[in-house]
Chains A and B, each alone.
Chain A
Amino acid sequence: DTGVSQDPRHKITKRGQNVTFRCDPISEHNRLYWYRQTLGQGPEFLTYFQNEAQLEKSRLLSDRFSAERPKGSFSTLEIQRTEQGDSAMYLCASSLAGAGGFNEQFFGPGTRLTVL
């Protein structure tokens, strides 16, 4: 068990470009969450998947954002036409949902996005 991994760790892009981030959850975890954290704030929920189904999306997730988890394993988060306000740390977490469990979320190291 290598924990939750995210790639890339850092991304610098110019305004208007598209970016894509990847998250690999803990292997047996069926739930995957995306959060966004700006400087001095706690993480804010964006969306989550159970297996390949996207079950909830925050209103923070504008139509420029899209997330997928095509085979119920890794997930991608794409931001189209990036804006300077998208600069943040994007965190991924996974958990094992099921009876008797605590659904404890384990977080990855994050992807730091800077939009110039």
Chain B
Amino acid sequence: KQEVTQIPAALSVPEGENLVLNCSFTDSAIYNLQWFRQDPGKGLTSLLLIQSSQREQTSGRLNASLDKSSGRSTLYIAASQPGDSATYLCAVKIGANSKLTFGKGITLSVRP
């Protein structure tokens, strides 16, 4: 059974800091991995999707990497801003037609 872990559960950083959010998964035979953002009481916004054949994806200040062999992904946020404060979830899919398995998320607070 695939399990996804995100540690720590919460993180607080000062504005402007570069930061890395970690995600680990137990079964390396994944189809793809997605990073999502969730604001309090809201739905999920997809940030980046990495296919199993890819090593990284970039969008603006965000960069996600994938190391399937070690079962790890990282989300790098450059020059953090208070508007980045949210919960960040990673999720893996083991097949093209399968469900997403989520971690519990990391709640990020960026202090002005």
Contact = CB atoms under 8 A, between A and B. Distances in A.
Contacts of A112: 41
A114 to B, nearest CB: 12
Question: How big is the A interface, by class?
Answer: 20 to 34
Interface in B1-36: 4, 9, 32, 34, 36
A35 B32 CA distance: 18
Interface in A90-107: 91, 93, 97, 102-107
B44 to A, nearest CB: 4
B97 interface: yes
Nearest to B104: A42
Question: How big is the B interface, by class?
Answer: 20 to 34
A21 interface: no
Nearest to B51: A102
Interface stretch (A12-20, A43-51, A72-80): A43-51
Nearest to B101: A45
A109 B43 contact: yes
A43 B32 contact: no
Interface of A: 4, 6, 31, 33, 35, 40-45, 48, 50, 56, 89, 91, 93, 97, 102-110, 112
Interface of B: 4, 9, 32, 34, 36, 41-46, 49, 51, 89, 91, 93, 96-97, 99-105
Given A44-B102, A45-B101, A105-B46, 7 more contacts: A4-B43, A31-B97, A42-B102, A91-B44, A93-B100, A102-B32, A110-B43
